[in-house]
Amino acid sequence: MPYLFTSESVSEGHPDKVADQISDALIDHFMAYDPKSKVACETLVTTGQVVLAGEVKTEAYLDVQEIARGVIRKIGYTKSEYMFEANSCGILSAIHEQSSDINQGVERADPEEQGAGDQGMMFGYATNETENYMPLALDLAHKLLTELAALRRENKEITYLRPDAKSQVTIEYSDDNQPIRIDTIVISTQHDDFGDDTEMLAKIKSDLINILIPRVKSQLKPALQKLFTDQITYHINPTGKFVIGGPHGDTGLTGRKIIVDTYGGKGAHGGGAFSGKDPSKVDRSAAYATRHIAKNLVAAGVCDEVLVQVSYAIGVAKPCGVFVSTNGSSKVNMHDGEIARKVEEIFDLRPYAIEQRLKLRNPIYSETAAYGHMGRKNEVVTKVFNAGKKSERKVEVELFTWEKLDYVDKVKAAFSL
């Protein structure tokens, strides 16, 4: 019987994502100046105020206020009427030194035996229903908001957009799990107050359907474009006007959008947030590692979709266990438990090995903090920190290394494919 599945995304201007981006900008600066830094920093944003808190062990000195203001400015909170503005908001730092009790469980004389920064379980997921091996509903939800942000920055076709926005996509699937059509699209976007409420909302709805949707469709393959029929139900700013938004409309906190960050509700999530954590925290590094495993398994043809779980004890290098579920889509003559044992042979899941394999001791995290940590483009870029100052530093880094299909041949060999 056909069924519906829904995923949501939020924009870079959503208050929780503002907090995530500030936390990850701090991580990047710590990594740029001291790659050995141990960091767990949280951010709270509200009307005219930013609060930074957390634990750090580092040799680097940072101007955390200027870093936070730079992030807010880049997102687009640059006008006083937003009630949260880069140059005028107050910033309080309550960052202190990391607990020595935690640190002694992580660091080892032999770096390869580095212990996990915490206990817990992490999940990775991949499916072949999109080119980037991500669930389709989430992929479309992200695309809607990245294109909406592009329209906002261009300020030509649509000139009233503000930074805060959310999207949601509901897709109808067939009995054999194939997408048939898009059932519903929900978009709520913050906007300027520019006239009569009825006329204003009608214009916003018309612009998003007739300008935004075609731009998103044009990025897709013909097979996916066909999902956009004239039977889609659109809910555009369904509560009415959305002038008050961002941190003034709703307090934001680091780590509150973990499903948006991962797979949109497909697969599973271990509960640990990513942003604001250095890679010794397996909440982050092992989630990237399991995504890397899942994507390479599907790309190699082991299965059509897969969920990979790994779990750790704090201070212990070797994982407690590895679990794999192919949801009946396996293409090899093995039970899922046997596939899991093969995964342990192919991929070293000790925290230090993950850091080295995925190059996680680099300033690569700001780019992850909006529009999802998974399914993104792997590329090499040069990043500049403290531009124009004596402490300026240029660093060439590889982004989204966990999206590489560099283990496909090894997986094929191991599974005789």
Question: Given this model, what pLDDT does residue 1 score?
Answer: 84
398 annotated to a ligand binding site: no
Q: How do strand 49-57 and strand 90-97 relate by DSSP bridges?
A: parallel
42 annotated to a ligand binding site: yes
331 annotated to a ligand binding site: no
14 annotated to a ligand binding site: yes
98 annotated to a ligand binding site: yes
Q: Where are the beta strands (DSSP E) in 21-108?
A: 38-46, 49-57, 90-97
Question: Given this model, what pLDDT does residue 200 score?
Answer: 95
d(CA 310, CA 352): 15
256 annotated to a ligand binding site: yes
The residues, any chain, with a CB within 8 Å of residue 323's CB and separated by 6 or more, are 308, 309, 310, 340
16 annotated to a ligand binding site: yes
Q: Where are the beta strands (DSSP E) in 135-292?
A: 161-173, 179-191, 233-236, 252-253
Intervals of the chain under pLDDT 70: 99-110
In order of 170, 222, 252, 272, 284, the CA distances from 255 in angstroms are 24, 36, 9, 8, 11
Residues 78-82: contacts with CB under 8 Å, at least 24 apart: 82/162, 82/163, 82/246, 82/248
Strand partners, 40: 55, 277
The residues, any chain, with a CB within 8 Å of residue 125's CB and separated by 6 or more, are 135, 262, 263, 266, 267, 268, 291, 294, 305, 306, 307, 308
Rounded-to-10 torsion of CA 114, 287, 407, 136? -170
Question: Given this model, what pLDDT does residue 158 score?
Answer: 98
Q: Where in the chain are all domains bearing CATH 3.30.300.10?
A: 3-10+135-245, 15-107, 120-128+279-414
In order of 18, 106, 285, 317, 347, the CA distances from 110 in angstroms are 38, 11, 19, 11, 20
Question: Distance from CA of residue 239 to its chain's centroid?
Answer: 27
164 annotated to a ligand binding site: yes
129 annotated to a ligand binding site: no
Full-model pTM:
0.96
166 annotated to a ligand binding site: yes
CATH for 15-107 is 3.30.300.10
Residue 29 in contact with residue 278, Cβ under 8 Å? no
Residue 277 in contact with residue 255, Cβ under 8 Å? no
> What's the pLDDT tens digit per position in 51-61?
999 999 999 99
In order of 19, 243, 384, the CA distances from 189 in angstroms are 19, 9, 31
d(CA 399, CA 124): 18
Sheet holding 321-325, edge to edge: 120-127, 305-312, 321-325
SS3 assignment, position 184: strand
d(CA 255, CA 246): 16
383 annotated to a ligand binding site: no
On the CB side of 272, CA atoms within 13 Å amount to 25
SS3 assignment, position 244: coil
Count Cβ neighbours within 10 Å for each residue of 319-348 and write b for 16 or more, e otherwise.
beebbbbbeeebebebebeebbebbeeebb
* Residue of 402, 393, 392, 317 lying closest to 365 (CA atoms): 402
Question: Given this model, what pLDDT does residue 109 score?
Answer: 60
CATH for 3-10+135-245 is 3.30.300.10
Q: What is 252-294 written as a DSSP string?
A: EETT--HHHHTTTTSS---S---TTB-TTSHHHHHHHHHHHHH
Query: Given 3.30.230.30, 3.30.930.10, 3.60.40.10, 3.30.300.10, which CATH number is that of 120-128+279-414?
Result: 3.30.300.10
Question: Given this model, what pLDDT does residue 79 score?
Answer: 96
Q: What is the mean pLDDT of the chain?
A: 95
178 annotated to a ligand binding site: no
d(CA 49, CA 43): 10
